[in-house]
């Protein structure tokens, strides 16, 4: 993704995060603090089980070293603004989704270099050190997720009637934008889709399916509500592929490490649409237990 495209997507996501903030109140986050079980389960899935599942898959399937390292880079980058958008559209617990993204993003500042250095040594015998731009990562998190959501929440508090009126149009606009981003990605990568699928298709498909299923069923096993289970499933399976591609191509200067993240982007958006349909049907049917 070139700089202009990345800027357009970032601005669009900021607008969407503002729209999501219109549907949130401080009480939504207070509830999470009072009942932290959902956050603990979500973070355990993202920060512990996700890397373990990724490592197990590349060990069992034995892909090329580049794909194996690419998978490990991907599992080191959970969540992101996109997962918040998908959770919002699926009528999951948006406050929980935003909380998981914020906390996981801060923790992965430490865990990303450790996981990637392990992967390089394990699959390629490369002992180089990986340095993540901490200030840039925090700045992106603040600009794209935190500040727009806070602005939307302030608007909700000051102009509640307007915020409630805008909820449905924002959801529709967000869904259209997500579809356009997916379509643009497919068009841009159309010549690479088949080669990428041949190299990284099976491990990335299994990674997406297993992590989303684990997120959902672990939440339900611990008796969390359906909205929370939907958000944890999405946060577990929707990775920050843009960050993974940036690390592969910019930090490690090896485009082959970005193949897994590129094909995963297509797969996770397909899974996202299924999650959105399921969530809207489940919540629409009145199920929130």
Place 7 in a pLDDT band, splitting at 50, 70 and 90: low
Rounded Cα–Cα distance for residues 233 and 211 (Å): 7
Q: Which of 27-36, 112-121, 207-216, 261-270 has the lowest mean pLDDT?
A: 27-36
- More confident position, 161 or 10: 161
- More confident position, 53 or 198: 53
Closest CA to 108 of 148, 146, 144, 74: 74
> What contacts 24+ positions apart, CB below 8 Å, involve 208-215?
208/237, 208/264, 208/267, 208/268, 208/271, 209/237, 209/271, 210/53, 210/57, 211/45, 211/49, 211/50, 211/53, 211/236, 211/237, 212/236, 212/237, 212/271, 212/275, 214/45, 214/49, 214/53, 215/42, 215/45
Rounded Cα–Cα distance for residues 220 and 113 (Å): 32
Place 205 in a pLDDT band, splitting at 50, 70 and 90: very high
Which residue carries 């993240």 as its tokens? 261
Residue 257 DSSP class:
G
- More confident position, 280 or 133: 280
Length of the chain: 289
Q: What is the per-residue pLDDT for 255? A: 75
Bridge partner list, 78: 239
CATH of the domain at 274: 1.20.1530.20
Q: Side-chain half-sphere of 171: how many Cα atoms within 13 Å? A: 15
Q: What is the per-residue pLDDT for 196? A: 72
- More confident position, 277 or 108: 277
Is 132 contained in some domain?
Answer: yes
Per cent of the chain over pLDDT 90 is 25
**Helices and strands of the chain, counted as H and E runs:** 14, 0
Rounded Cα–Cα distance for residues 277 and 65 (Å): 36
**Residue 135 token pair:** 């200030």
Q: Which of 50-64, 129-143, 246-260 has the lowest mean pLDDT?
A: 129-143
Is 286 contained in some domain?
Answer: no
pTM of the model: 0.75
Is 8 contained in some domain?
Answer: yes
Place 204 in a pLDDT band, splitting at 50, 70 and 90: very high
Q: Which of 5-14, 57-66, 194-203 has the lowest mean pLDDT?
A: 5-14
Closest CA to 1 of 205, 179, 249: 249
Give the number of domains in the chain. 1
Q: What is the pLDDT of residues 229-262, one digit of tens each?
A: 999 999 999 887 777 877 777 677 777 787 888 8
Q: What is the per-residue pLDDT for 237? A: 92
Range of the domain at 199: 3-281
Q: What is the per-residue pLDDT for 227? A: 94
Is 289 contained in some domain?
Answer: no
SS3 state of residue 80: coil
Q: What is the per-residue pLDDT for 226? A: 93
Rounded Cα–Cα distance for residues 252 and 131 (Å): 10
Q: What is the per-residue pLDDT for 229? A: 95
Place 195 in a pLDDT band, splitting at 50, 70 and 90: confident
First to last CA, the chain: 41
Q: What is the pLDDT of residues 80-119, one digit of tens each?
A: 667 888 898 898 998 898 888 878 877 877 788 888 888 8
Q: What is the per-residue pLDDT for 242? A: 72
8 A C-beta contact, residue 46 and residue 104: yes
Is 287 contained in some domain?
Answer: no
Q: What is the per-residue pLDDT for 174? A: 64
Q: What is the per-residue pLDDT for 158? A: 85
Which residue carries 């969407």 as its tokens? 16
For 14-25, what is the mean pLDDT?
Answer: 73
8 A C-beta contact, residue 63 and residue 200: yes
For 5-22, what is the mean pLDDT?
Answer: 69
Q: What is the per-residue pLDDT for 224? A: 93
**Residue 165 token pair:** 């009126």
Q: Is 7 exposed, middle or buried (0-12, 13-18, 19+ CB in 10 A)?
A: exposed
Is 130 contained in some domain?
Answer: yes
Is 65 contained in some domain?
Answer: yes
Is 137 contained in some domain?
Answer: yes
């Amino acid at each position: 993704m070139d700089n202009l495209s990345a800027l357009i997507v970032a601005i669009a996501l900021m607008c969407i995060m503002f729209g999501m903030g219109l549907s949130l109140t401080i009480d939504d986050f207070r509830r999470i603090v009072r009942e932290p079980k959902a956050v603990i389960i979500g973070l355990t899935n993202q920060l512990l089980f996700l890397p373990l599942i990724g490592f197990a898959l590349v060990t069992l399937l034995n892909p090329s070293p580049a794909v194996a390292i690419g998978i490990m880079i991907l599992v080191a980058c959970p969540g992101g603004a996109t997962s918040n958008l998908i959770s919002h559209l699926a009528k999951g617990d948006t406050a929980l989704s935003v909380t998981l993204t914020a906390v996981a993003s801060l923790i992965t500042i430490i865990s990303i270099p450790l996981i990637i250095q392990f992967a390089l040594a394990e699959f390629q015998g490369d002992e180089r050190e990986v340095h993540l731009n901490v200030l840039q990562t925090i700045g992106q998190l603040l600009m794209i997720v935190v500040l727009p959501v806070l602005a939307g929440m302030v608007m909700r508090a000051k102009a509640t009637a307007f915020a409630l009126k805008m909820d449905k149009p924002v959801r529709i606009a967000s869904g259209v934008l997500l579809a356009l981003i997916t379509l643009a990605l497919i068009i841009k990568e159309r010549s690479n889709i088949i080669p990428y699928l041949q190299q990284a298709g099976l491990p990335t498909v299994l990674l997406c399916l297993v992590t989303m299923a684990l997120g959902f069923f672990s939440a339900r096993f611990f008796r969390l509500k359906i909205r929370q289970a939907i958000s944890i499933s999405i946060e577990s399976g929707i990775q920050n592929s843009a960050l993974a591609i940036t690390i592969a191509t910019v930090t490690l200067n090896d485009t082959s490490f970005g193949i897994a993240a590129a094909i995963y982007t297509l797969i996770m958006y397909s899974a996202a649409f299924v999650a959105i349909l399921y969530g809207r049907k489940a919540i629409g049917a009145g199920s929130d237990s």
